[in-house]
């Protein structure tokens, strides 16, 4: 998916932003990786991190998330733009530290505010390629 396609998707996904925060979004931001790891290694770190968040939540399928993988902004580099919600996932600071402990580089997380796709489009590079994963209420979509 190109940035232009991502923009069209974002405009059609206003419900994901949830301006009244009825889904319990907690934070959003960007995850980075040190060096130039493979995409499969980056995904592996991300899913380990996600399982830790899900474990902290305490109930299967209770964590909501949006994850947009960005390829191509920097040669050999990946960035994961994320938004997470749940009743018990806690402070973003704990998850930033967990990200680094699992092998990620930096986690730039911000307290939730509406319009995640606007943040994403501002952060994303024009020449990148994107994959999107969304899970809300235990249903996972890969776009």
Segment 61-89, tens digit of pLDDT: 778 888 888 887 677 788 898 888 888 78
**Which residues 6+ apart lie within 8 Å of 108 measured at CB?**
29, 30, 31, 32
Q: Structure pTM?
A: 0.81
For the chain, what is the domain count?
1
**Token code pair at residue 32:** 């980075």
- What CATH number does the domain containing 42 carry? 3.30.70
**Contact (CB, 8 A) for 83 and 116:** yes
Domain enclosing residue 71, as ranges: 3-142
Indicate the SS3 state at residue 74.
coil
- Residue 139 DSSP symbol: E
Spatial distance between the Cα atoms of 110 and 95, rounded to a whole number of angstroms: 11
Segment 11-41, tens digit of pLDDT: 545 445 556 666 677 888 899 998 889 989 9
Residue bearing the bigger pLDDT, 109 or 118: 109
Cβ neighbours around 30 below 10 Å, total: 19
**Which residues 6+ apart lie within 8 Å of 59 measured at CB?**
none
């Amino acid at each position: 998916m190109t940035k232009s396609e991502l923009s069209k998707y974002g405009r059609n996904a206003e419900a994901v932003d949830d301006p009244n925060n009825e889904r319990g979004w907690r934070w959003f931001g960007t995850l980075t990786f040190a060096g130039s790891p493979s995409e499969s290694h980056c995904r592996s770190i991300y899913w380990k991190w996600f399982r830790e968040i899900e474990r902290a939540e305490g109930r299967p399928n209770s964590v909501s998330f949006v994850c947009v993988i960005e390829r191509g902004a920097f040669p050999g580099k990946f960035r994961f733009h994320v938004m997470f919600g749940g009743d018990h996932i806690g402070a973003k600071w704990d998850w930033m530290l967990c990200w680094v402990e699992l092998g990620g580089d930096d986690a730039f997380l911000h307290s939730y505010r509406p319009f995640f796709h606007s943040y994403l489009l501002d952060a994303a590079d024009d020449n990148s390629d994107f994959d999107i994963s969304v899970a809300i209420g235990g249903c996972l979509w890969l776009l």
